[in-house]
Structure 1
């Protein structure tokens, strides 16, 4: 059974809710998932996941939420190569801002730099278009994570 580390960056709880729903959906697809709300690089690496799934909202001017920013910095500073890891990013944002889905973009770029293999192009969910991001995220997960 493949393992997925679900790393969540949230401000008001929307990304957290999507992550919780994602774990349920991925569990039904026979994945062993662990949620990392205040992720540390050591904890995520210790879980030894086959796949990293980052689900993050964006705050401020395209910034990474406070709860996951230390994890992002640890990744940048320690730069562990992810050559044998696959990853996916679900980014929540608001297209009325200049840096739409900026946190997701930053994570996507960094995971690619670390030589991870992208499972699917990043999913961008616009708060202006949908009030229930899980309605877009869950079918996307089912499409890209079905064995």
Structure 2
């Protein structure tokens, strides 16, 4: 089973709640899931994959608690070819072009850093889904089965 670093970006707690449900489901499937904050936490302990669960704020930006890691990744630019990754992005499609912008930013950066995307990013629309974990958990379990 895989060692997965879980990165969460949340403003009002929804993405954090989804990440908690995803973590429990992945652990029940036999994976080791470690919530990580900061670049050093992501890079140490030999992870197999990174799973990002983030909301979007402002004009398609990352929440502040994930923005610092994003900036550090861009600045230090560590090549992550040894890691697989997945993205769970929460947003509201009524915001048009900025819909799930936080997840899109992380997807673009992880691709630039040569990490291997496993499955298309999951985009969860708040205007259509009141309980995003009902979509995120099965997606994450399927994603992890492909690692």
Match of 2:84 among 83, 86, 95: 86
When you count helix as a share of all residues, which structure comes out higher?
2
Q: CA deviation at 1:43?
A: 1.5
Q: Deviations over 1:100-140 (max 9, x none)?
A: 00000000000001111111000000000001100100111
Q: CA deviation at 1:54?
A: 0.4
Instruction: Tell me how far apart the structure 2 counterparts of residues 135 and 2 of structure 1 sit (CA, whole Å).
Output: 22
Gap runs ≥5 in structure 1: none
Match of 2:59 among 54, 61, 69: 61
Instruction: Tell me how far apart the structure 2 counterparts of residues 43 and 143 of structure 1 sit (CA, whole Å).
Output: 25
Q: Deviations over 1:63-121 (max 9, x none)?
A: 10011110000100111111111000000000011300000000000000111111100
The count of aligned residue pairs is 145
Q: Deviations over 1:21-51 (max 9, x none)?
A: 1110100111111113xx2101111232110
Instruction: Tell me how far apart the structure 1 counterparts of residues 83 and 102 of structure 2 sit (CA, whole Å).
Output: 20
TM-score by length of 1: 0.95
Gap runs ≥5 in structure 2: none
Instruction: Tell me how far apart the structure 1 counterparts of residues 124 and 45 of structure 2 sit (CA, whole Å).
Output: 28
Within 5 Å, which residues of 2 pair with 1:1-147?
1-36=1-36, 39-98=37-96, 99-146=98-145
Q: CA deviation at 1:144?
A: 2.1
RMSD of aligned alpha carbons: 1.0
Instruction: Tell me how far apart the structure 2 counterparts of residues 133 and 87 of structure 1 sit (CA, whole Å).
Output: 20
Instruction: Tell me how far apart the structure 2 counterparts of residues 146 and 87 of structure 1 sit (CA, whole Å).
Output: 12
Q: CA deviation at 1:141?
A: 1.3
Report SS of the residue matched to 1:104.
helix
